[in-house]
Structure 1
Amino acid sequence: MLSPLVTDQGRTTIADTVVAKIAGIAAREVSGVHALGGGAARAVGAIRERIPGGRTNQSLGVSVEVGERQAAVDLQLVAEYGVSIADLAQGIRRNVISSIERMTSLEVTEVNIDVQDVFLESDDQDQQDQQAEPRVQ
């Protein structure tokens, strides 16, 4: 059975990292997603971004399995407080599936979402307050 990626003229393969990056960007586009990844992964990502020349890892919190015609996606994320998690998950699935299928022609068989935490504005303010205090005198 031929597909847009497997034709009589040749075969196109798409690396897992490409699909993971597309999924990560698509998930971040959905309002209500504060961040992708669990706590430790986000901490390492924040350090990487502060290094001169460091880049944001768009696939942080994303794992994928890619075959010749299909892909499956697993996402870990932090949701904004007050957002309906069921609606958020539905919006993420819709955007991730649409983006991957449009860009790669792979059929997305599933998008599993693991909400690791809920972000509160006060959490961010507490962290900023701690950083503003001098550590030494």
Structure 2
Amino acid sequence: MVQALNHEELGQVEVAPEVLGVIASIAASEVEGVVDMHGTFYNALAEKFGRVNYTKGVKIDMINDAIVVDVYVTVAYGKAIPLVAEAVQENVQSTIYTMTNLDIREVNIHVVDIQIVKHA
């Protein structure tokens, strides 16, 4: 658990890493140029059976009391990968901070695929 707030008189608020993963996944998906989040084999198998994984494509690590987020994305063909990656980093960091008041040390973007987007 990650401690978000500490009010001596009221108690503590803790945020589970899975919650940070959901926030990061949704924030990354909102960025123009991100076509899909890249999950694991387990994620793909679970989706075949109708289970939705809201943390798909995100890995949260606690390293020396610092939060490190790894995001695995598929980018649309023709989009500038550095610009999309930077936008994902900024949106993930700012969204997590806005919702939890937690500082993120790193947001690492892993572009695992390019997809040609067909327009109808």
TM normalised by structure 2 equals 0.82
Contact 1:15 1:66 in 2 (8 A): no
Distance change in 2, residues 1:4/1:115 (3 Å): closer
Is 2:6 the partner of 1:6? yes
Does 1:77 pair with 2:70? Answer: no
- Which secondary structure does the structure 2 equivalent of 1:18 belong to? helix
CA gap 1:66/1:101 in 2 versus in 1, 3 angstroms: farther
Q: Which is higher, the Rg of structure 1 or of structure 2?
A: 1
- Runs (5+) with no aligned partner, structure 1: 123-137
Question: Residue type of the partner of 2:6?
Answer: V
Give 2:16's aligned residue.
15
Calculate the TM-score normalised by the size of structure 1: 0.72
Q: CA RMSD in A?
A: 2.3
Matched, 1:48 2:46: yes
The code of the aligned residue for 1:18 comes to V
- More strand per residue: 1 or 2? 2
Q: Give the helix-richer structure, 1 or 2.
A: 1
Number of corresponding residues? 114
Counterpart position of 2:53: 57
